[in-house]
C-alpha cells in the first residue's frame, strides 16, 4: 500500500509539475524548476530545461533539507543555476521531488518557502483525492468479494485480512445493510432535463455528487468506527454495521441491535427525503465471521428483493420478517403453480376474487378473529361471515382449520411471488 501510495504521489508531481512551474513563475517573477527525486527537471518556467539534470537537487532529495547555490557553486554542478532548492514532501513526510528558484539566494530566498508550501498544498489535495478514490475502489472490491464468497471454496483467511486492513474487526459482529435508490433513473432523467444542452459534464457531476452525498449520509448515520460502507453497483450502497463483541453477544442483544439498525435505516430514509430521493433498504442477519457475513450480505440483498416484490414501496426490509417469502423464492415454478391452483383455483376465477383474497389474508393475520378481521376490512361482521362461508363452499375446506388457513395464506404468498411485479410506487399506499 505504501509503495503504491508513494508511486501515485510521484505520478502527481510528474502530472502537474509543468502547470505549477509556469503559473507560479508568472506570479513571483522568478524562474522556477521542479524535479523528481533523481534530479530530472519535470517542470520549468523555461520549458527548454525540461528533461535536464539539476544536480543540486540530488542532495536535497536525499537529505530532505533545503540548500542554497551561489554563482561560484553553480559552476560545479551540472544543469544548475544560482538560487535556492527546497524538497517537496508528501503527506507522509517523504520527499517526492524538489523545487528550485533561480536567482541570487538573498533575492529569491523570501519566496522559496512560500512557493514550496503552495506546491505541497496543491499536490496533497490531489494526493488525498487519489487516495480517497483508490480506497473507495478497494472497498467496492471487498464488498463484492464478500458477497460472492463461497465458504469452503474461497480463502476466508485472506479475505478477512483484506477486510481488517479496511476497518473490519473480527471481534465484533456485523449486520449488513443494502440501500437501493428507488427509481433513481427517473431522478437522473429529471436532472438531465433541467440542464441545458452542452452541459453533459455538469449533469454527470451533479448525479455523482448526489451519490457521494448518499454515501456520506450512510457513514454519518452508521458511524461506528469499525463500520465499513461503500458504493455497490450503480444505485446501491452497502454498510457492514459493527455492533458488539461477538464473544459476549446474546440473542436478545442481537434482536436489540437489529431493532436499532432498523431505526437508523428509517433515519437514513428521512435524510434522503431532503435530497428528493426515495430508497428501499434490505437488512441481513447478524454475522460473527467473514463466512457468515458473506451469507448475511446475500440475505440483505434477498430482503431488499423480497420487500420490493411483496410491498412495492420504499421501506426498510429485514430478512427476519421475510423468512417464509425467502423459502417461497426457492420453490420451483411448476410446484408453485400446482399449489396455487390446487388451493385457490376455484376462487381466482370469481369476479369478487380481490375481496376474497383480502378476506383470507386479513382472517389469517387477525388470528381467526371475526371482530378483528371485520375491523381490518372495514366491513360488517355479517358480511365477513358471508365471505368466509363462500370461501368454504368454493374450496371445500374448513376455514376454521389452522392447516387450511395456513395453506390458503401460503398460496396467496406463492401467487404474489409468481405473478408479474406491480408498478413500483414512490410513496407508500394509504393504510386500510
Domain that holds residue 39: 2-132
Shared domain check, 341 and 319 = no
Q: Measure the CA–CA gap between 156 and 152, rounded to whole angstroms.
A: 8
The pLDDT of residue 249 = 55
Separation CA 222–CA 179 (nearest Å): 13
Please say whether the dihedral angle defined by the alpha carbons of residues 394, 400, 404 and 409, taken in this order, is positive or negative: positive
- In terms of domains, do 355 and 212 share one? no
C-alpha triplet 92, 95, 100: angle, nearest 5°: 135
CA distance 375 to 45: 83
Contact predicate 176/243, CB 8 Å: no
- Does any domain span residue 355? yes
Are both 337 and 322 inside the same structural domain?
no
Domain-embedded: residue 115: yes
Phi, psi of 288 (to 5 degrees): -110, 10
- Please tell me the total count of domains within the chain: 3
Give CA separation, 329 vs 8, 310, 322, 323, 418, in Å.
Answer: 47, 12, 10, 10, 9
* Nearest Cα to Cα of residue 57 among 46, 47, 66, 44: 66
Q: Which helix (H) or strand (E) holds 405?
A: helix 402-418
Select from 339, 308, 321, 318 the least CA-distant residue to 414. Answer: 339
Going across the sheet that includes 67-69, the strands are: 41-44, 32-35, 95-102, 83-89, 67-69
Q: Do residues 348 and 308 share a domain?
A: no
Report the chain's mean pLDDT, rounded to a whole number.
85
Would 141 be classed as within a structural domain?
Answer: no
3-state secondary structure of 102: strand
Q: What is the pLDDT of residue 428?
A: 44
234 and 123 belong to one structural domain: no
pLDDT in tens, 283-304: 999 998 899 999 999 999 999 9
Phi, psi of 75 (to 5 degrees): -65, -20
CA distances, 193 to each of 159, 190, 203, 278 (Å): 43, 5, 9, 19
Domain shared by 101 and 68, yes or no: yes
Q: So what's the pLDDT on residue 301?
A: 93
Instruction: Give the pLDDT score at 27.
Output: 77
CATH of the domain at 395: 1.10.10.2840
Report d(CA 329, CA 428) in Å as an integer: 24
Claim to verify: residue 321 and residue 337 sit in the same structural domain: no
Q: What count of residues does the chain have?
A: 432
Question: What pTM was estimated for this model as a whole?
Answer: 0.65
- Do 191 and 112 lie in one domain? The reply is no
* Residue 208, domain member (yes or no): yes
Q: Which distant-in-sequence residues (6+ apart) come within 8 Å of 110 by Cβ?
A: none
User: In angstroms, what CA-CA distances link 399 with 280, 393, 405?
Assistant: 36, 10, 6
Distance of CA 124 to the CA centre of its chain: 25
Q: What CATH number is associated with residue 18? A: 3.30.450.40
Regions in the chain scoring below 70 on pLDDT = 1-12, 127-133, 195-202, 245-250, 419-432
DSSP classification of residue 47: G
Question: From CA 39, how far away is CA 50, in angstroms rounded?
Answer: 11
φ, ψ for residue 37 (rounded to 5)? -70, -10
User: Is 430 contained in some domain?
Assistant: no
Q: What are phi and psi of 17, to 5 degrees?
A: -60, -50
Residue 142 lies in a domain: no
Q: Are residues 8 and 108 in the same domain?
A: yes
Strands 316-318 and 279-283: parallel
- 3-class DSSP state for residue 94? coil
Boundary (domain end) residue, out of 262, 294, 326 = 326
Question: Are 188 and 308 in a shared domain?
Answer: yes
Is position 137 within any domain? Answer: no
CA–CA dist 240, 257 (Å, integer): 13
Which pLDDT tens digit goes with each residue over 28-43? 788 888 999 999 999 8
Find, among 176, 177, 185, the residue nearest to 424 by Cα: 185
Q: Examine residue 316 and state whether it is found in any structural domain, yes or no.
A: yes
Boundary-marking domain end, from 308, 326, 344:
326
Bridge partner list, 279: 181
CATH number of domain containing 263: 3.30.70.270
Question: Which of 132, 162, 194 corresponds to the end of one domain?
Answer: 132
300 and 170 within one domain: yes
Tell me: do 257 and 382 sit in the same domain: no
Amino acid at each position: 500500500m505504501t509503495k503504491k501510495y508513494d508511486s501515485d504521489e510521484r505520478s502527481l508531481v510528474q502530472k502537474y509539475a509543468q502547470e505549477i512551474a509556469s503559473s507560479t513563475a508568472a506570479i513571483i517573477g522568478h524562474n522556477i524548476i521542479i524535479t523528481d527525486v533523481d534530479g530530472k527537471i519535470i517542470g520549468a518556467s523555461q520549458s527548454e530545461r525540461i528533461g535536464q539534470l539539476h544536480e543540486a537537487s540530488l542532495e536535497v532529495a536525499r537529505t530532505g533539507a533545503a540548500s542554497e547555490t551561489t554563482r561560484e557553486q553553480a559552476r560545479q554542478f551540472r544543469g544548475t543555476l544560482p538560487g535556492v532548492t527546497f524538497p517537496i514532501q508528501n503527506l507522509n513526510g517523504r520527499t517526492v521531488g524538489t523545487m528550485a528558484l533561480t536567482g541570487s539566494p538573498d533575492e529569491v530566498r523570501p519566496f522559496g518557502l512560500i512557493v514550496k508550501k503552495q506546491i505541497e498544498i496543491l499536490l496533497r489535495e490531489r494526493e488525498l483525492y487519489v487516495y480517497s478514490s483508490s480506497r473507495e475502489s478497494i472497498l467496492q472490491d471487498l464488498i463484492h468479494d464478500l458477497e460472492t464468497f463461497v465458504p469452503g471454496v474461497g480463502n476466508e483467511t485472506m479475505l478477512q485480512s483484506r477486510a481488517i486492513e479496511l476497518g473490519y474487526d473480527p471481534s465484533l459482529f456485523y449486520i449488513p445493510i443494502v440501500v437501493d435508490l428507488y427509481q433513481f433513473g427517473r431522478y437522473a432523467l429529471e436532472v438531465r432535463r433541467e440542464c441545458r444542452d452542452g452541459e453533459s459534464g455538469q449533469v454527470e457531476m451533479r448525479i455523482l455528487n448526489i451519490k457521494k452525498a448518499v454515501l456520506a449520509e450512510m457513514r454519518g448515520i452508521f458511524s461506528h468506527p469499525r463500520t465499513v460502507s461503500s458504493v455497490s453497483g450503480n444505485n446501491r450502497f452497502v454498510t457492514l454495521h459493527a455492533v458488539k463483541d461477538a464473544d459476549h453477544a446474546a440473542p436478545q442483544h442481537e434482536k436489540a441491535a437489529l431493532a436499532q439498525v432498523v431505526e437508523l435505516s428509517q433515519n437514513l430514509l428521512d435524510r434522503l427525503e431532503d435530497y428528493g430521493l426515495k430508497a428501499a433498504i434490505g437488512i441481513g442477519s447478524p454475522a460473527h465471521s467473514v463466512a457468515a457475513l458473506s451469507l448475511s450480505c446475500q440475505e440483505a440483498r434477498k430482503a431488499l428483493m423480497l420487500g420490493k416484490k411483496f410491498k412495492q414501496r420504499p421501506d426498510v426490509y429485514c430478512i427476519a420478517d421475510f423468512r417464509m417469502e425467502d423459502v417461497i423464492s426457492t420453490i420451483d415454478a411448476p410446484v408453485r403453480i400446482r399449489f396455487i391452483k390446487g388451493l385457490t383455483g376455484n376462487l381466482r376465477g370469481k369476479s369478487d376474487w380481490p375481496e376474497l383474497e383480502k378476506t383470507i389474508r386479513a382472517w389469517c393475520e387477525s388470528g381467526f378473529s371475526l371482530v378483528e378481521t371485520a375491523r381490518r376490512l372495514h366491513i360488517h361482521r355479517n358480511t365477513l361471515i358471508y365471505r368466509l362461508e363462500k370461501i368454504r363452499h368454493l374450496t371445500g375446506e374448513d376455514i376454521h382449520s389452522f392447516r387450511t388457513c395456513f395453506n390458503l395464506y401460503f398460496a396467496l404468498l406463492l401467487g404474489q411471488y409468481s405473478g408479474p411485479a406491480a408498478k413500483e410506487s414512490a410513496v407508500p399506499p394509504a393504510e386500510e
